[in-house]
């Protein structure tokens, strides 16, 4: 089992950890990590692991059950289970992911609060992304209105709170019900939530800023019609 340090502190960039397993395919499992393995539309982190004074680039990170697998760009050095290693992520890239991910949640909150429409999918990379909504009409005026509301939310500097709820507690929270918490596998007993206070609350495993003022300027740059009741919005984040 790997302790997911990023789940409580999205700005933590380096850490010390013990090797708990070395897999047949070369994957290194640690007792803790700040490396986000990707998922929920958020890209994987990049960074390095340091063994005995030498840096190795982390080329891939994957989640496997309750463990995080780290792959490096070279053959495995002379390491053993129990050895202590140092890890460090590309914190500037992480900060961009934090900003973009929070912007996506702001967009979700605005569209739900104004039109009652829920998100059906999404994906993002550094400072840009796209989201799908179950809505028929995204006129030019409506898009301008949504963009204005999103940037008002940024300027309002809403606090962002991370909470861990039992599944039983989470299934009673209206905001989590409408974001389809029922789709989370039944074996998951503790639900992590991200609450943009006063705007949006979702079950979410990714990384975020501490308050919305850190996001930057949200630009809605394109809308695609993906069929009846489905519209895709593309967004960009600017300083």
Per-residue pLDDT of 37-92, as tens digits, reads 999 899 999 999 999 899 999 999 999 999 999 999 988 888 999 999 999 999 99
Q: Cα–Cα distance between 23 and 1 in angstroms, integer? A: 14
Measured torsion, CA atoms of residues 23, 11, 45, 70, in degrees rounded to the nearest 10? -10
For residue 177, the model assigns a pLDDT of: 67
Output the CA–CA distances (angstroms, integers) from residue 196 to 4, 58, 113, in the order listed.
21, 32, 13
**pLDDT tens digits, 176-199:** 866 666 677 888 889 999 999 999
Q: How confident is the model at residue 132 (pLDDT cuts 50, 70, 90)?
A: very high
Q: Is 171 helix (H, G, I), strand (E, B) or coil?
A: coil
Q: Quick check: 156 pLDDT over 70?
A: yes
Least confident of 3-12, 62-71, 170-179: 170-179
Average of per-residue pLDDT values in the chain: 94
**pLDDT tens digits, 13-37:** 999 999 999 999 999 999 999 999 9
> Domain limits of the chain?
3-89, 94-238
Architecture of domain 94-238: 2-Layer Sandwich (3.30)
For residue 179, the model assigns a pLDDT of: 66
Q: Which CATH number fits domain 3-89: 1.50.10.10, 1.10.287.180, 1.20.1250.20, 2.40.30.130?
A: 2.40.30.130
Q: Cα–Cα distance between 235 and 125 in angstroms, integer? A: 11
Q: Cα–Cα distance between 235 and 98 in angstroms, integer? A: 15
Q: Cα–Cα distance between 225 and 20 in angstroms, integer? A: 48
Residue with tokens 């030019």: 140
Phi first, then psi: give them for residue 234, nearest 5 degrees: -105, 135
């Amino acid at each position: 089992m790997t302790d997911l340090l990023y789940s409580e502190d999205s700005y933590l960039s380096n850490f010390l950890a013990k090797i708990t397993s070395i897999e047949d395919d070369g994957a290194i499992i640690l007792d803790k990590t700040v490396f986000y393995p990707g998922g929920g539309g958020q890209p994987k982190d990049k960074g390095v692991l340091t063994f005995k004074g030498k840096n190795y680039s982390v080329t891939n990170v994957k989640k496997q059950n309750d463990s995080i697998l780290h792959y490096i760009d070279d053959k495995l050095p002379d390491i053993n289970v129990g050895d202590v290693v140092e890890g460090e992520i590309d914190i500037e890239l992480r900060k961009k992911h934090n900003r973009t991910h929070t912007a996506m949640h702001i967009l979700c909150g605005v569209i739900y609060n104004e039109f009652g429409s829920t998100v059906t999918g999404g994906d993002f990379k550094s400072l840009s992304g796209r989201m799908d909504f179950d809505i028929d009409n995204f006129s030019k005026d409506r898009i301008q209105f949504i963009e204005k509301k999103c940037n008002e939310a940024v300027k309002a500097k809403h606090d962002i709170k991370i909470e861990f709820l039992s599944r039983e507690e989470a299934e009673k929270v209206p905001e989590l019900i409408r974001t389809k918490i029922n789709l989370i596998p039944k074996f998951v007993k503790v639900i992590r939530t991200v609450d943009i206070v006063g705007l949006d609350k979702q079950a979410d495993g990714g990384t975020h800023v501490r308050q919305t003022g850190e996001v930057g300027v949200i630009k809605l740059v394109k809308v695609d019609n993906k069929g009846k009741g489905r519209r895709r919005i593309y967004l960009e984040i600017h300083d």
